[in-house]
Amino acid sequence: MSKKPEATVETLRIARLAHKGDGVAESEAGQIFIPYTLEGELVSAKVQGPRAELKEVIEPSAHRVAPVCKHYGTCGGCSLQHMDEASYKDFKRQQVVDALASRGIESAVEDVVVCDKGSRRRAVFAAVKAGHKVLFGYHTAKSNRLVDIEECPVIAPEIMKAVPGLRRLAGEVLPRKGELKFTVTTTQSGLDVAISGLGKNKDKHYLQLSQGAVENDLARLTVDGETIIEIRPPLLDMSGAAVPIPAGGFIQAALSAENTMGDLLAEGLKGCKRVADLFCGAGTLTFKIGQFANVHAVEGEASSLKALDLGLRRAKGLKKVTTERRDLFRRPIVAKELDNFGKGYDGVVFDPPRAGALAQAQELAKSPVKKIVAVSCSPASFARDMRELLDGGYEIKRVVPIDQFLYSPHVEVVALLERSA
C-alpha cells in the first residue's frame, strides 16, 4: 500500500475554479485543489497530494464576502458562501456553458434563476451518539465527522425549528454504534420524516417513535420504508393538485424552482395537444402539462406512480392524464411509439436522474416529435443528451440554468427544443 505524501504548508496563487467550486493552483507537482478560495487569491494552504486545506487568505479577491452561516467551512452542505452574488451566478452559468462546449455545442445560456434563502423544502440529516451527546446535522466535506448544526440558512425555517425535537427523538432510538439518516420534507400538512438505518432495532422502538411523531407534530413518520404513524397525509401542491408524496420520494428542492420549470415547459410546449412526460416522478410537472394538453406520464418507481394516481383523483380541470410504469433506462419509448403512425406525441418532457437519458434521447432523435423540454440536474449528462437531439435535427430555443441548491456547485438546467423545419 502506497503511503500518503507528507503534508506541507505552501503559499499558492489560485489560477481558476474547478467545476465543483474548488480553487485550482498550479505547482511543480501538478494541480492542487483548495476549497473556499477564489480566482486570483494568494493563499496559505496545507497541501497533501493534489488536495489542500485552506489556512489563510493572504490576498483576498474583491469578490470575496463573509459567509452567512456560522457552520460554513466545517459543514459539508455549502461550499460557495464566500462568493459575491455576481461571481456566484457567473460560476453556476459557466457550468452549463462549459458542459455544452465540451460536446461542441454553442448555444446562448441565460442568466441563472436563483432560489431564495430558506426555500429548500427538504433536508437530509445524520444523527450519531458521541458519548452522552447526540449529534444531529451534516457531515463535513469528504469526512464521516458530523457537525451538530444550530442554524442552516438554506432550508425552510420550519425544518430548522424542528431540529431540537428530532435530535431528542434520535437520542431515544439511536443504536450504540452507527448512525441514522433523517429525511425531512415540508408539506402542506406538516413535516414528513423518513428515518433509515434502524434495522432490527425498529420493532423495539415503536412506542418512542410514535410518541416522538406526535410530540413533534409530524404529518407522517416512516422508518426504513415502513410507515410508523400517519397523523395527516403529507401533501404537496403540484400546480394546484394536492399530491400525497411517497416517503423520501423525489421532489424539486425548492417550490420556486418547480414553478419556474412549469412556466418554461408551458412556453416550450405551446400548441402541443399530446405530451409524454418521461421520468415523471410523482407528477412534479405532469399536473402543469395536464392544464393545457393530454399527457402520458411514465415512471419506473412504483411508489411515485401511486402518489401521482392518488393526486389525479383529487385534481380538477385537467386534460386526459394516463400513467405507465416503465424502466426508461432499459426500455425507452422508441421512435415508432412516439410517432404511432402520425397520431403520437407532438411534445415530450424528460426529467431524468443525474445519469441523464441517453437511450431515450437517441430514440427522440429518430422521432417526429415537434417540441421537447429537457430538464436535468447534471450539466454533463444534459450536454451529452443535447448532442444526440441536435444531431437528430432539433434546434435549441432556450437554455435556462436554475439554482435550487443554494451555495452548492450543483445547478439544474432546462432547455426548450424544436424540430427543424
211 is in an annotated binding site: no
DSSP string for residues in 349-392: EE---TT--HHHHHHHHTS---EEEEEES-HHHHHHHHHHHHHT
- Asked if residue 216 lies in contact with residue 190, where contact means CB atoms within 8 angstroms, the answer is no
**Grid coordinates in use for 254?**
425548492
- Asked if residue 269 lies in contact with residue 289, where contact means CB atoms within 8 angstroms, the answer is yes
DSSP string for residues in 58-76: EE--TTB---S-TTBTTBS
351 is in an annotated binding site: yes
The secondary structure element, H or E, covering residue 294 is strand 294-299
User: Distance between CA 318 and CA 312 in Å, rounded?
Assistant: 9
**Grid coordinates in use for 391?**
444531431
Considering just the CA atoms, what is the radius of gyration of the chain in Å? 23
Question: Among candidates 188, 183, 117, which has minimal Cα distance to 156?
Answer: 117
User: Distance between CA 371 and CA 351 in Å, rounded?
Assistant: 15
The catalytic residue positions are: 377
Strands (E), 90-246: 113-114, 122-130, 133-139, 146-148, 180-187, 190-196, 220-223, 226-230, 235-238, 241-244
Cα 230 vs. chain centroid, distance in angstroms? Answer: 26
- Known binding positions: 252, 279, 299, 351
- Known binding positions for S-adenosyl-L-methionine: 252, 279, 299, 351
